[in-house]
Amino acid sequence: MKRLWAQSLAVALVMAAGVATMLIGLGAYYSLSETRTAYYDRTQFADVFAFAVRAPKSTAAEIRQINGVAQVETRIVKAALLDIEGFELPATGYFISLPASGENTLNRLHLRSGRLPGPGSLREVAVSESFAQAHGLQIGSTLDAVLNGAKRRLTITAVVLSAEFIYALGPGDMMPDDRRFGIIWMREPALAGAFDLEGAYNSVTLRLLKNAVMEDVFQSLDNILERYGGEGAYGREDQLSHAFLDAELQQLSAMSRILPPVFLIVTAFLINMVLARLISLEREQVGLLKAIGYRPTEIAVHYAKLVLLISCMGIGIGFAAGTWLSHGLTVLYTKFFHFPYQIFVASPKLYVVAAFVSFAAALFGSMRAVAGAAALSPAIAMQPPAPPSYKRFWSGRLQPLKHLSQLTIMVLRHILRWPVRSMLTTLGISLAIALLVSSLFSVGAINYMIDVTFDRTDRQDASFAFGEARPAQALQDIARLPGVLVAEPYYNAVAKLSNGHHAKRVAILGKPEAMDLSRVLDLELKPVALPASGLVLSEALAKKLHIERGDTVHAEFLGGNRIEADIPVVDIIQSYVGLMAFMDMKALNRLLRQGPRISGVNMLLDPAQSDAFFAAVREQPALSALALQRVSLAKFQETIAENIHIQIAVYCGLATIIAFGVVYNSARIQFAERARELASLRVLGFTEYEVSRLLLLEFALLTLAAVPVGWLAGYGLAFALVQGFQSDLYRLPFIMLRSTYAYSALIVMVAVALSALIVRRRVTSLDLVSVLKTRD
């Protein structure tokens, strides 16, 4: 047992990787989803959300009558620019009304500190915790907001959390930026006064009964809000924060389906290899034990103990590593996901499950070898195993073989003599490579996505969104602001697109004919001009609706005149973010039977005048949200850079563990089996270097064979991950860089070389005299 400890440890490490990835993947999955559910329940998170332009409060009673509706809450939700002392950029505030007094019934706030704004107070607010922390705002701090054109100084009375904003993404951002996006709750009379919404609301949220039929509720709600500019009801899956958490959960589950099985399969293989070797070494003892009357089960139990020992080591290390990494993940999650309570990544139950599954894998791997030992007949067991017989590979004296040295022939014959072991070793190494390919590729893929999204598609520095669509002349006001080099308008209209029973609620983005900042790219990433009429859909949306170029899609515009139309899909284009539908802006306005209107403006800014620009922005009454694409990109890249290094380190570690586990074990076994052969060679006058080369050459060949297999498997694995990671919010392009392949192979080669070199050192300490004294 003692001489096996290093090998056992190598196996245990692979197993530990399986245990740890299971703990982290499944642990994060379950705790995230369970924590979310608990949070939702406790704060009465709504099931249905809808916006309108201005709906009278009297309609609330009507909504309450809808079949399946349990609770209704109307409110005012508006975006407005914020001015924070000591922060040069304007931030966007998302203002949500609290009832005139007391608490909300739905989407209740979780109070972190302070008290809710006083009943009827016009200046007191509650702010989201992440925003408060980003600016060091405390109870009693003040900030300025431009509410519907009027500047107002607000006083913070509470720091809060909301289940609606577990993931708080500002308008136009790719990554949460807590400095530039805050959620602010005010008493309803204050907001109603500021936005001329007395006796009215522009947002309604519902909680449904268990038996409610979503589609019917949407329909009824839309019918009621139709007259008041309703923009269409949607459920949780289209609620931004919820959808992002869903995307994260989806990724976690994809990871947990792939990683732990890989490690556990390799563990089973290694245990089989180590045990088979041990048993063949100990066949004499086994024979003796059986001869003196030990039962097969007792023999089996003896070896099962080794499996148990390895498993305990593996599970122990896996628990420790899993717990430690889970803690890291918890820290990461608290950065992005705002929950009122700590997310405990792995539950005790999961530890039990992980241990059980891993142990089962180990037992499975040991079954064949142990059964073989138990079945050994005493007589046969006492004889030495038959000498290995070799064959010439192909009967003839092939010409190329003449040029091979005898040492090389030895290597080749040995590989072919143990084809299953060679193949499994190759497979193990290739899994390590595959793992790296599937992880490293995301670096290239993300860079590609950034390039496509920010450098080729949305090239604006910033964009404004108006609170409500405005006449086209509003563009001039923006273009005139200091520092604006180019201003390009857009108009968007929310619509439900459907094709048969496939339907999706999206914003159709109208763009001007001469668009140059925010462009539309075709599948080959060439800019396309939008057709004079008809729609252009992103590939992901087209797939979702089962639509191809040339088909017609039915559009129900929500809000405004509630136009319905069948629109031809003229083109399908590329986009990695969101589900996109584009139309020429004039055509869109014409379709909606309205004069030229715009929803916002994309801009190119002169960096030299940014101070003047920001100062002017703060005085603009009509602007409610400012997106700073370049700032957002920087934030995005910074976050990615931080996380990608961790990810790469983890995956390199995991791949190294596999490569080491496989190569170290098979090298040790090889070395033990071939000690006599190697000693003979040394006696014959072969140098240490030549003898080691024999050993290393075998692994070099197996590794070489593993590289293409690993690349292929990695390609498949990455493809599966890309599919698994797809969500309505974003998609990772499936881009494989040559450097990804190169690095993956290189890292694993280094790991293989190091593992083999550790064993190679034994060649030096080979005791020639004693090896030759014994019979095989």
Q: Is 675 in the site for another protein (CB under 8 A)?
A: no
Select the residue interacting with another protein from 58, 211, 389, 473 (CB under 8 A): 389
- CA distances to 60, 475, 505 from 200, in Å: 10, 29, 25
Left if phi > 0, otherwise alpha if psi is -120 to 50, otherwise beta: which for 198? beta
Given the complex with another protein, which of 9 and 766 has the nearer CB atom?
766
Position 109, amino acid: L
Given the complex with another protein, which of 211 and 389 has the nearer CB atom?
389
Closest distance between another protein and the C-beta of residue 672, in Å? 15
Cα torsion angle, 735, 739, 743, 746, sign? positive
Long-range contacts of 237-242 (CB under 8 A, 24+ apart): 238/505, 238/728, 239/49, 239/164, 240/167, 240/169, 241/163, 241/164, 241/165, 241/166, 241/167, 241/168, 241/169, 242/166
Given the complex with another protein, which of 485 and 772 has the nearer CB atom?
772
Closest distance between another protein and the C-beta of residue 696, in Å? 17
Q: Is 403 in the site for another protein (CB under 8 A)?
A: no
CB 446, CB 644: distance < 8 Å: yes
Given the complex with another protein, which of 58 and 405 has the nearer CB atom?
405
Mark the segment that binds another protein (CB under 8 A) among 142-150, 441-449, 615-623, 765-773: 765-773
Q: Is 772 in the site for another protein (CB under 8 A)?
A: yes
Cα torsion angle, 336, 337, 338, 340, sign? negative
Q: Please give the residues from 186 up to 205 whose contact with another protein meets the rule CB under 8 A.
A: none
| Cβ-based neighbour number of residue 131 at 10 Å | 26
* CA-wise closest residue to 670 among 648, 701, 694, 651: 694
Given the complex with another protein, which of 228 and 686 has the nearer CB atom?
686
Given the complex with another protein, which of 394 and 608 has the nearer CB atom?
394
Given the complex with another protein, which of 298 and 767 has the nearer CB atom?
767
Given the complex with another protein, which of 504 and 676 has the nearer CB atom?
676
3-state secondary structure of 69: strand
Given the complex with another protein, which of 539 and 688 has the nearer CB atom?
688
Given the complex with another protein, which of 593 and 773 has the nearer CB atom?
773
Closest distance between another protein and the C-beta of residue 407, in Å? 7
For the chain, the first-to-last Cα distance in angstroms comes to: 22
CA-atom Rg of the chain in angstroms:
33
Six-digit token string for 425: 């070793």
Six-digit token string for 752: 């293989």
DSSP 121: -
Give the alpha-carbon dihedral of 492, 497, 503, 505, to 10 degrees. 10
Q: Is 211 in the site for another protein (CB under 8 A)?
A: no
Q: Please give the residues from 367 up to 386 whose contact with another protein meets the rule CB under 8 A.
A: 386
Select the residue interacting with another protein from 42, 151, 295, 392 (CB under 8 A): 392
Select the residue interacting with another protein from 297, 561, 687, 723 (CB under 8 A): 687
Given the complex with another protein, which of 539 and 677 has the nearer CB atom?
677
Q: What span, in angstroms and rounded, lies between the C-alpha atoms of 303 and 370?
A: 6
Closest distance between another protein and the C-beta of residue 390, in Å? 5
Q: Is 686 in the site for another protein (CB under 8 A)?
A: yes
Select the residue interacting with another protein from 119, 388, 527, 621 (CB under 8 A): 388
Closest distance between another protein and the C-beta of residue 734, in Å? 45
- Tell me how far the alpha carbon of residue 614 is from its chain's centroid: 35
| Cβ-based neighbour number of residue 14 at 10 Å | 30
Burial class (CB in 10 A: 0-12, 13-18, 19+), 108: middle
CB 127, CB 137: distance < 8 Å: yes
Closest distance between another protein and the C-beta of residue 395, in Å? 10
CB 721, CB 256: distance < 8 Å: no
Q: Is 646 in the site for another protein (CB under 8 A)?
A: no
Taking residues 404 to 423 in sequence order and writing x for each that binds another protein by CB under 8 A, - otherwise, the string is: -xxx-xx--xx--x------
Strands 181-187 and 91-98: parallel
3-state secondary structure of 136: coil
Given the complex with another protein, which of 297 and 687 has the nearer CB atom?
687
DSSP notation for 447-492: HHHHIIIIIIIB--SEEEEEEEEEETTHHHHHHTSTTEEEEEEEEE
Given the complex with another protein, which of 356 and 393 has the nearer CB atom?
393
Closest distance between another protein and the C-beta of residue 770, in Å? 10
DSSP 530: P
Given the complex with another protein, which of 291 and 398 has the nearer CB atom?
398
Select the residue interacting with another protein from 477, 522, 556, 688 (CB under 8 A): 688
Show the CA angle centred on residue 92, arms to residues 488 and 606, nearest 5°. Answer: 40
Q: Is 238 in the site for another protein (CB under 8 A)?
A: no
* CA-wise closest residue to 614 among 88, 80, 170, 135: 88
Given the complex with another protein, which of 309 and 412 has the nearer CB atom?
412
Select the residue interacting with another protein from 236, 257, 302, 676 (CB under 8 A): 676
Closest distance between another protein and the C-beta of residue 692, in Å? 13
Given the complex with another protein, which of 292 and 684 has the nearer CB atom?
684
For residue 147, which phi and psi values (nearest 5 degrees)?
-95, 110
Closest distance between another protein and the C-beta of residue 683, in Å? 6
Q: Is 769 in the site for another protein (CB under 8 A)?
A: yes
Given the complex with another protein, which of 247 and 412 has the nearer CB atom?
412
Q: Is 398 in the site for another protein (CB under 8 A)?
A: no
Closest distance between another protein and the C-beta of residue 769, in Å? 6
Q: What span, in angstroms and rounded, lies between the C-alpha atoms of 430 and 709?
A: 6
Q: Is 768 in the site for another protein (CB under 8 A)?
A: yes
Given the complex with another protein, which of 199 and 387 has the nearer CB atom?
387
Taking residues 416 to 455 in sequence order and writing x for each that binds another protein by CB under 8 A, - otherwise, the string is: -x--------------------------------------
Closest distance between another protein and the C-beta of residue 7, in Å? 24
Select the residue interacting with another protein from 683, 704, 742, 750 (CB under 8 A): 683
- CA distances to 155, 171, 201, 262, 464 from 181, in Å: 17, 8, 23, 41, 14
- Neighbouring-strand partners of residue 156: 125
For residue 546, which phi and psi values (nearest 5 degrees)?
55, 50
Mark the segment that binds another protein (CB under 8 A) among 75-83, 111-119, 210-218, 764-772: 764-772
| Cβ-based neighbour number of residue 771 at 10 Å | 16
Select the residue interacting with another protein from 140, 293, 387, 419 (CB under 8 A): 387
Q: Is 396 in the site for another protein (CB under 8 A)?
A: no
Closest distance between another protein and the C-beta of residue 773, in Å? 8
- Tell me how far the alpha carbon of residue 318 is from its chain's centroid: 22
Q: Where are the beta strands (DSSP E) in 500-580?
A: 502-511, 535-538, 552-557, 564-573
Mark the segment that binds another protein (CB under 8 A) among 345-353, 589-597, 685-693, 738-746: 685-693
Mark the segment that binds another protein (CB under 8 A) among 120-128, 361-369, 573-581, 682-690: 682-690
Residues in contact with another protein, counted by CB under 8 A, come to a total of 34
Mark the segment that binds another protein (CB under 8 A) among 14-22, 232-240, 400-408, 639-647: 400-408
Binding site for another protein (CB under 8 A): 386-392, 405-407, 409-410, 413-414, 417, 676-677, 679-688, 768-769, 772-776
